[in-house]
Amino acid sequence: MSELWKKSAVDMVDLLRSGDISPVEAAQAAIARIEAVDGKTNALPIRCFDRAIEQAQTLDLTSHRQNPKSLCGLPIAVKDYNDVAGVHTTYGSPIFKDHIAERSDVTVAVLEHNGANPIAKSNVPEWAGGHTFNPVNGLTRNPWNLSRSAGGSSGGSAAALASGQVWLATGNDLGGSLRTPAAFNGVVGLRPSPGVVPRGHGNLTFDTLWVEGPMGRSVVDVALMLDAGCGLRTEDPLSFNHHCGSFAQAIKQHSLPERVAFSTDLGIVPVARDVRAITENAAADISRLGIDVSDDIPDFTGVLDAFHTLRGVLLATLKGELVQQHRDEILSDIVKNVEVGFNVTPDQLLDAERVRWTLTRYMAQFFESHDFLICPAASIAAFESEKPFITEIDGTPCKTYIDWFAITFALTMTGCPVISLPCGFTDEGLPMGLQVLAKPRREDELLSFAALLEEHFDVRDLVPIDPREAS
């Protein structure tokens, strides 16, 4: 029982489904691991252990074993932007430090219906950001090097996975919020197409920039969680029933793509030298599989400015009233980002939508001759955790506090599914990942190719780890 934290999510669900372990034993194993290591990482500051034990004791295993999508009582972490009934949701904000959700949001409710058992809430930046720290629950540290950032905003989820505290975790992604932490922590995060995973009331109904997605230690674990979390829900009019009946089965059907494109920088962002070297080596490895790797990528001109505009409008719509009422209690960078939305002119908004519209056409042309687009999952490796954000990359200044992860939000603008998976390590032993982008709503093909790459890169089994002090 003391070694259960080392097992994969797939193996754990098999044990639960067969009855070799009980949901209570799985919850107890997670609790023991959290209590043993989270004092170092601070990945899961909000715990709901009693709730999880009660849920485990009352789970109807007979019906769940008949549901092929069920996680059969597997404990998971839920990001602190999502509601779990009876548990604090703080958003990392002092304004909501005492807020307790009355019910689980739609994203979590679907997972719970399919046998997931929330055991803790994972730490987040205050409202949004690429580095996980906030005035309510503090700083989350990277288990590969406790002096480094876990990324954000799903930094708590990624650090908890890498350190073996949970087997699966929820993430969400606007500009890279699950892809960057996945890269920094050596785990896997999937940003699905909009509508694949239903979203709750905290998101704008028809926004397509912010999506919910699964995180795990491997591609097959992520596929397992996607099966448990996808589907049509009336609360989310963009949600739909995916054409793929089982992502876990789909990834077993490996077939080599004929042609992919690789770029270190998408032609628009600075990327650190060590990240370039690692990901170029990974691209060379991909070509050795017999896949044609080209550098013929879509034109991303104007995409970054367009994203800033649309992100500003989104934040202003979501948080504008809150900023007006509680300005002095909100992180100044978030206030500034909301004000960007207030100050957007009609011409800027029209230009941003035209850029996104044009990019959609470029992507369609790209997929006529390519199967996937590949690039680094971050422009830098995990940085010192005491820095609030990165101001320059190899001497190139970043214009805003989020521009250091522009390589992820550029792909957000495509509307395509993107996965982040580890592909190697820096000389300091810090993980780095690749983003792989597929055609819209082709999560099954994306997961299948990612699983093949994961097998080839041979870094999957290096997690989970015990948290490591800075060397």
Hey, which residues are catalytic here? 79, 153, 177
Report how far residue 31's alpha carbon sits from residue 75's, in angstroms, rounded to the nearest whole number.
Answer: 9
With beta carbons less than 8 A apart as the criterion, state whether 115 and 60 touch.
Answer: no
Helix (H) or strand (E) holding 51: helix 49-58
- Please tell me the distance from the alpha carbon of residue 115 to that of residue 120, in angstroms, as a whole number: 15
**322: helix, strand or coil:** helix
Q: Is 6 helix (H, G, I), strand (E, B) or coil?
A: helix
The CA-based angle 346-347-353, given to 5 degrees, is 90
* φ and ψ at residue 327, rounded to 5 degrees: -50, -45
Please report which residue ranges of 66-131 form alpha helices under DSSP H. 106-113
Chain position carrying tokens 């193996």: 11
End-to-end Cα distance, the chain: 31
Question: What are residue 384's phi and psi, to 5 degrees?
Answer: -60, 130
Give the separation between CA 253 and CA 444, rounded to whole angstroms: 10
User: Which tokens is 439 given?
Assistant: 């055609």
Residue 243 vs residues 191, 323, 442: alpha-carbon distances, Å: 17, 41, 9
* Single-letter residue type at 77: A
- CA dist 65 and 59 (Å) reads 11
